[in-house]
Amino acid sequence: MLVGIVSDFAIVLDRLERRFAEVEAVAGVSLSVPPGEIYGFLGPNGAGKSTCVRIMCTLLLPTGGSAAVAGYDVASSPDEVRLRIGVALQDASLDPKQTGRELLWLQGRLYGLTRSDTEQRIRDVSSLIDIGDAIDRRIATYSGGMKRRLDLAAALVHNPQVLFLDEPTTGLDPVSRARVWEEVRRLNSVLGMTIFLTTQYLEEADELADRVGIIDGGRLVAEGTPGDLKRSIGSDVIEVHVDGELDAARAAVLAVPGVNAAERRNETLLVETADGPAVVSRVALALNGAGLNVRALTLRTPTLDDVFLRVTGHHIRAAEGL
């Protein structure tokens, strides 16, 4: 077991495992996150994201492997880890009868800050997270987005080395989601804070993360910068919409020279090719030759969803049954 500060990394997972009876929720995940990085942990519901975060936050013990955060092993030195992390989980546990200020004051005092330090930290995080005058209102009056921001402020009162955000924008409207994104960027750029962000939103990982780890079925199946992961596809993508059977369209397209793969996604056929501009017209001719009416052909570059499909065999939303 790791006992003291033994690593230059803010987070190290080494063959981490966690079982619940016969269910293997985390199956040998290894990764490392250097200080000051935003690491995006991407995967559908049930992939093992939240279980990994709960282990790193000392809420669960691993059943195999190890995890170290801020240089301390989560199993042997949980108190040292807790002093150095901030955590905003999916379900914010906020007392609706408190004001925002009362909640932040309590958080600071629980972490052993002096009265003057607590007051200063409340001013700092209120400005950083932009809570405004709502800080002196009862939490029961807050919107969902405001509760998320207050929960984030509470995670920052003691100025943690590592911040864990577990799906911080799930259920938020687009405007509130954009505000959270802005605040995450500011925390990282202004404070140099290491941020471990779990998400099921592809655009969130693409927009915020310096590196992305894709987890599926409890296993880390891909890792890299968003740009590198998308370039690893090595293909342009043609989205095909036709009137008629997609299976017939797929058969026609796969016979086209230069087409590497073609996969169905709901009512769309996704065609991979190394040279989209040269192949798109051939695809149109092949579909027409098969007697299919083409409603739309769209040429685009790969997305993280295309990467997810490549490494897991399914799209992230389809993995959730959506």
Measure Cα distances from 57 to 8, 49, 126, 217, 305 in Å: 19, 12, 24, 21, 28
- Which helix (H) or strand (E) segment holds residue 55: the answer is helix 49-56
Q: Which CATH code for domain 235-301?
A: 3.30.70.100
Round to whole Å and give the CA distance between 320 and 289.
36
Is residue 42 within 8 Å of residue 196, measured between CB atoms? no
| Coil, strand or helix at 179 | helix
Tell me the longest C-alpha to C-alpha distance in the chain.
77
What residues form DSSP beta bridges with 297?
240
Of residues 53 and 129, which shows the higher confidence score?
53
The pair of three-digit structure tokens given for residue 249, joined into one six-digit string:
């369209």
Query: Of 242, 298, 303, whose CA–CA distance to 271 is shortest?
Result: 298
pLDDT of residue 317: 59
Query: Of 236, 234, 235, 278, whose CA–CA distance to 256 is shortest?
Result: 278
* 43: phi then psi, degrees, rounded to nearest 5: 175, 160
Q: Residues near 281 by Cβ (< 8 Å), separated by ≥ 6? A: none
**94-103, 197-206, 295-304, 311-320: least confident range:** 311-320
* Residue spans per domain, the chain: 11-226, 235-301
- Name the one residue in this structure whose structure tokens are 């954009």: 178
- Please determine, for residue 4, whether its predicted confidence score (pLDDT) is greater than 70: no
pTM, two decimal places: 0.82
Q: Does domain 11-226 have CATH number 3.40.50.300?
A: yes
Query: Of 222, 243, 241, whose CA–CA distance to 233 is shortest?
Result: 222
Is residue 252 within 8 Å of residue 292, measured between CB atoms? yes
- What would the pLDDT profile of 155-174 be if each residue is shown by its tens digit? 889 989 999 998 888 777 78
- What would the pLDDT profile of 52-98 be if each residue is shown by its tens digit? 999 999 999 999 999 999 999 999 999 999 999 999 887 777 889 99
